[in-house]
Amino acid sequence: MKTLILFYSTYGHVFKLAEAMAEGAREVEGNEVVIKKVPETLPKELLDQIGATEAQKAFDHIAVATPDELADYDAIVVGVPTRYGNMCGQMQAFWDSTGGLWAKGALVGKVGGAFVSTATQHGGQETTIRAVHTMQLHHGFVLVGLPYAWQGQMGHHEVTGGTPYGASTVAGGQGERQPSSNELEGARYQGRHTAEIAKKLSTK
């Protein structure tokens, strides 16, 4: 069984969630877990201007995914920063190039899910994840979220991400806040939960 954690990250917040997601998924016996990123679409000059170039060095070593390889995985979990309540353009452009897979039904029956980073608590976490879900449903994915069996999303003693739709983090207006231990644990839970369901569905 193979699981792909597919992400785009501007400043590293989504990448940290992706690493935690992979940690959880690796706890499922027999599961090969791969982390990959989608291609960057912004020019280097703009990335330099917004301070993303330096931040992205932390995951320069991560390989770039291609649409053709998606059919090789049993589960694909997508991580994105939000852009006005929707997935970022880099991730949208990647999935816009998967029409050939859609036409062949190559992803039908695979397990999918999503996780997200927003600047503020109410910056579109759930709408962004639902946007990813909509795309995945069109491809025929079986969706897995972050159930309330994970009690970390029940608390109110601290500012924290975590929704029943998927793991999340609140990055702060300047990206100054890093994913908390609670948010990372939510990502680990979702990764493990997703892999467990994929394993059940892949049993022959």
Known binding residue 177? Answer is no
The terminus-to-terminus CA distance of the chain in angstroms comes to: 12
Q: Is 10 one of the annotated binding-site residues?
A: yes
Please check if 203 is assigned to a binding site. no
Please give, one letter per residue, the 3-state secondary structure of the chain. Answer: CEEEEEECCCCCHHHHHHHHHHHHHHCCCCCEEEEEECCCCCCHHHHHHCCHHHHHHHHCCCCECCHHHHHHCCEEEEEEEEECCEECHHHHHHHHCCHHHHHHCCCCCCEEEEEEEECCCCCCHHHHHHHHHHHHHHHCCEECCCCCCCHHHCCCCCCCCCECCECEEECCCCCCCCCCHHHHHHHHHHHHHHHHHHHHHHCC
Q: Is position 83 annotated in a ligand binding site?
A: yes
168 is in an annotated binding site: no
Asked if residue 165 belongs to a known ligand binding site, the reply is: no
Say if residue 80 carries a ligand binding annotation: no
161 among the known binding-site residues?
no
82 is in an annotated binding site: yes
Annotated binding site for substrate: 102
Where is the binding site, in residues? 9-14, 82-84, 102, 138
Indicate the annotated binding residues for FMN.
Answer: 9-14, 82-84, 138
Annotated binding residues for NAD(+), as ranges?
11
